[in-house]
Amino acid sequence: MIYIASPYTHKDKEVMQQRYEDVCKFCYDAVQRGYLVYSPIAHWHPIAEKYGLSRDEAWWRELDEDAIKVSSRLWVLKLDGWEYSSGVKREVLFAKRNTVRVNYIPKGGLSCIT
């Protein structure tokens, strides 16, 4: 499984919605190319919205780290703001500490994957 790290939290709910939609499209494209991917944003955003799940970083950290531990790779989807995302930074550091290979993917591009 490939864990997809992408920025999410933002003060503007429309930005958060767009990030969700962008990562969903990326996951669709990846699956169409034969990759098994997991994105906590694609999976949990609609559930969090509907049921008011906590947006607390500690809750996300535990969920993310458990998923990263069972992943063979972590792909950072470079959506706008990715380089400022504390969550993405945390996920990358955790992956590297757990010998999970990290790749950086330009927004919308799977061509650089090996």
Residue 48 lies in a domain: yes
Look up the pTM and report it. Answer: 0.90
Question: Can you give the pLDDT at residue 112?
Answer: 54
Residue 114 lies in a domain: no
Q: How many domains does the chain have?
A: 1
Alpha helices in the chain (DSSP H): 13-32, 40-51, 57-69, 86-97
CATH number of the CATH domain containing 6:
3.40.50.10400
pLDDT by residue, tens only, the chain of 114 residues:
999 999 988 899 899 999 999 999 999 999 999 999 999 999 988 888 889 887 677 778 888 999 999 999 999 999 999 999 999 999 999 999 999 999 999 876 765 554
91 CB-near residues (< 8 Å, 6+ apart): 3, 5, 64, 68, 74, 76
Residue 20 lies in a domain: yes
Residue 15 lies in a domain: yes
The range of the structural domain enclosing residue 55 comes to 2-106
Question: Can you give the pLDDT at residue 108?
Answer: 64
Residue 111 lies in a domain: no
